[in-house]
Amino acid sequence: MLQNAIEVKNLHKAFGDLKAVDGVSFEVAQGEIFSLLGPNGAGKTTTISMLSCLLRPDEGDALVMGHSIKDDQMGVKSVLGVVPQEIALYNDLSARENLTFWGKMYGLRGPALRSRVDEVLEIIGLTERAKDRVGKYSGGMKRRVNIGVALLHKPQVIYMDEPTVGIDPQSRRNILDSVVALKNQGMTVLYTTHYMEEAQELSDHIAIMDIGKVIAYGTNAELVKIVGQMDRITLTINAESGRVLEAWKKVQGVKQVTAQDGTLTVLADDSNQVLPRLFETSALNGVRITTVAIQEPNLEAVFLHLTGKALRD
Amino acid sequence: MIRIFDIAAKDLMQILRDRKTFLFLLIMPIAFTFLFGFAFGGFSKGVSDPRLPVAIINQDGGDLSLRLVNLLENSEVITITQDAAKTLADYEKLLTKGNLAGILIIPTGYTDALLTGSLPPLSLEANITQTAGTTIQSEILAAANRLTSAVQTALIVGQTSSAFGPAFEQALSAWDNPPIRIESTSAVVQTGPKVSSQVAALAQTSPAMMLQFAIAGLLTCGAVIVNERKTRSLQRLLTTATRRSHILLGHYLAIFVLLFAQFLVLMTFGQLFLKVDYFRQPAATLLVAVASSLCIAALGLLIGVFAKNEEQAIAFSLIPMFLFSGLGGAWTPLEYTSATFQAIGHVTPVAWAMDGFKNITVRLLGFESVLVPCAALAGYAVLFFLLAAWRFRRVSE
């Protein structure tokens, strides 16, 4: 029996001079939720596209339930459900018509198709609105149909490419709950996101990507250990960051200081000890601290530690 | 394979939900058929004679030459003009202007030569590179052969039975030398009626508007394909076990079915209410409709895969509509234009489709007359489809 649902081996993909994916490798065990976390442009969607057989890798290969994305594309597609980042639906068809069409594309026919469409409508909570055209739905409802399509043929593996982008908090909560529900049904979920909280909440394992590479890989706890359990202090000041940046780097207990878009981020062993020293140093430099936020170690800090930049859009 | 039909059914559902579809495919062509029909006198009272006009100069004047003229006068394909006051030069001017489709010269001694068992050549001036020219040639050849064989038979019957062998050989060899010599001309060939008549005018405008708005209607078909790409539904389709070729064929099938249905409805309308005799040759008419639908559907596919958004789909549909209709004889019959314009017109598929339909409804020709136009349309269909397939492969990667 297969241990891993997905095995990615040294994938490369370039578009001209741009190396979108540069030697990515990871493994996803059966029945787990695996997140690819990274900012926009990190190479997550390109990776997913190769694993969906939409793009052919320049180098490397991947096995999805034992099927090679290079040599057995139909085999890969038969075990796969994909929830793309975009609302990939036909707006002038109703939810039921969309699901029926996509069900046929996944090989379902007749009574089996009809009953599965009914089931999926129930799962996504749109039975009452099944006859309405998708074009008239809210963003959240469209997202639900978008996910429903991928569930029609009960795939063994589901890819979800940033499924919560641009939707309201309630719909987002529903989607995150449904991802957990899929895992509980035994499906393997490969989830891409640039929201650290989602990756933390959902994932059994996480690969952090940046500039086409996997820069860290492990469970949430394992990744957080990379930054050594440091606290993250985010501050804004009433002056140019350059006036205190170098001085703060010399403060006892401070491990790293970065500035981005007028916000200073300090990684420190103990924020309670460091914070008074930061106030003192800034006063000596004639700078006033206007806001302070302290955060326990998390993936954001890991990303900051590894790349020197914040994990954001 | 069944996915091709699933995709086609989905496309048709989408296309038919767009009200523009009915506007372009049914309402506009009917309205414009009436409009252009009025413009060309399609609703005025007139005598219709759709036969091809051929002038005869009978230099022989003997019995058998008169019998040949008589045979041609009864033709359903050509109509005879004879005017003793006119010279060959006069007729050639008319041929150049397009008022004649051909000039037949029956040479002096034609009757005598036939009676002595030889085969005197007839002379025909016509453009045999065009359908009308070859039609005239075939018709005159058939009449001349008929007359010649009758004479040969009579001569053979008049001989004694002991001379059967030489007589038989003589009759057999009579077919070795064709009784007509063709002189090809580049003159414009008048393939339609000399004057606008009710039936001929509507037989021009009915298929013309049908073809024109079939192309215009591609904007809704193209938009479906464009939107599929824009919403990334195409990418999603490619993550299922559906082949690229099946997706392309599914879209093609949908457009073909839509256009063929449009043609059937509008031809039936033309037959019942405009008295355009589409169903005089049902098999030929259906063949032209199928070939036209295949060609325009492939064009629709090409538009769909090349357009980047709905606005482009509209522009890409309207540009060929105007270009192909204007050049292809949908607005003005090509028979009324110069030889150069006719040649340019036949670069467009609309000209071939018009030839096909008018060979049936105006020129009253048979099934064979639509084969060349249908082959040309099929050629365009293959060209457009291959271009679309090449582009589709690129945009879907």
- pLDDT of B174: 53
Q: Which domain holds residue B263?
A: 2-44+194-395
Does B234 share its domain with B295? yes
The CA angle A211-A215-A218, to the nearest 5 degrees, is 140
CATH number (domain holding residue B66): 3.40.1710.10
Q: What burial letters (b/e) apply to A79-117, b meaning 16+ CB within 10 Å?
A: bbbbbbbebbbbbbbbbbbbbbbbbbbbbbeeeebeebb
Please tell me the distance from the alpha carbon of residue A258 to that of residue B191, in angstroms, as a whole number.
84
The answer to whether A86 contacts B241, with C-beta atoms less than 8 Å apart, is no
Contact A206, A37 (CB under 8 A): yes
Residue B193 reports pLDDT greater than 60? no
Residues of B in contact with A93 (CB under 8 A): 10, 13-14
Does A291 share its domain with A150? no
Chain A closest-CA separation from residue B351 CA (Å)? 36
Does B173 share its domain with B225? no
The residue among B155, B184, B213 that closes a domain is B184
The residue among B132, B160, B184 that closes a domain is B184
Does A179 share its domain with A290? no
Does B303 share its domain with B240? yes
Q: Is B232 on the interface with A (CB under 8 A)?
A: yes
Residue B192 reports pLDDT greater than 50? no
Tens of pLDDT, residues A286-307: 889 999 998 877 787 788 778 8
Size of the A and B interface in Cβ pairs below 8 Å: 63
Count of the separate structural domains present in chain A: 2
Please tell me the distance from the alpha carbon of residue B128 to that of residue B180, in angstroms, as a whole number.
14
Does A256 share its domain with A117? no
Whether residue B189 is contained in a domain is answered as no
ipTM: 0.77
Count of the separate structural domains present in chain B: 2
Tens of pLDDT, residues A99-158: 999 999 999 999 999 999 999 999 888 999 999 999 999 888 898 999 999 999 989 999
Better-predicted residue by pLDDT, A163 or B194: A163
Contact A216, A223 (CB under 8 A): yes
Q: Which residues of A touch B (CB under 8 A)?
A: 52-55, 74, 77-78, 80, 82, 84-93, 97, 101-102, 104-107, 149
- pLDDT of A82: 93
What value does the mean pLDDT take over residues B306-323? 89
Chain B interface disruption, residue of A15, A54, A94, most B CBs within 10 A: A54
Whether residue A308 is contained in a domain is answered as no
Q: Which residue of A has its CA nearest to B18?
A: A92
Residue B160 reports pLDDT greater than 70? no
- pLDDT of B170: 58
Tens of pLDDT, residues B315-343: 888 899 999 999 998 888 888 788 889 89
Please tell me the distance from the alpha carbon of residue B305 to that of residue B319, in angstroms, as a whole number.
16
Q: Which of A30-44, A222-236, A264-278, B171-185 is the least confident region?
A: B171-185
Number of other residues whose CB lies within 10 A of the CB of residue B252: 26
Q: How confident is the model at residue B138 (pLDDT cuts 50, 70, 90)?
A: confident
Tens of pLDDT, residues B336-375: 788 889 899 999 999 999 999 999 988 888 899 999 999 9
What value does the mean pLDDT take over residues B88-110? 86
Whether residue A303 is contained in a domain is answered as no
The answer to whether B240 contacts A86, with C-beta atoms less than 8 Å apart, is no
CATH number (domain holding residue A279): 3.30.70.100
A52 → closest Cβ in B3, B227, B239 = B239
Whether residue A215 is contained in a domain is answered as yes
DSSP state at residue A136: G
For chain A, the average pLDDT equals 89
What value does the mean pLDDT take over residues B103-122? 84
- pLDDT of A291: 93
Q: Which domain holds residue A154?
A: 4-224
Q: Kindly state the percentage of chain B with pLDDT values over 90.
A: 31
Does A195 share its domain with A278? no
A78 → closest Cβ in B10, B231, B241 = B241
Q: Is B236 on the interface with A (CB under 8 A)?
A: yes
Pairing of strands B78-81, A289-295: unpaired
CATH number (domain holding residue A47): 3.40.50.300
The answer to whether A54 contacts B237, with C-beta atoms less than 8 Å apart, is no
Better-predicted residue by pLDDT, A105 or B183: A105
Whether residue A162 is contained in a domain is answered as yes
The residue among B119, B150, B184 that closes a domain is B184
Does B229 share its domain with B280? yes
Chain B closest-CA separation from residue A181 CA (Å)? 23
Tens of pLDDT, residues B24-82: 777 888 888 878 777 766 655 544 566 788 999 988 888 888 888 888 888 878 888 88
The answer to whether A91 contacts B18, with C-beta atoms less than 8 Å apart, is no
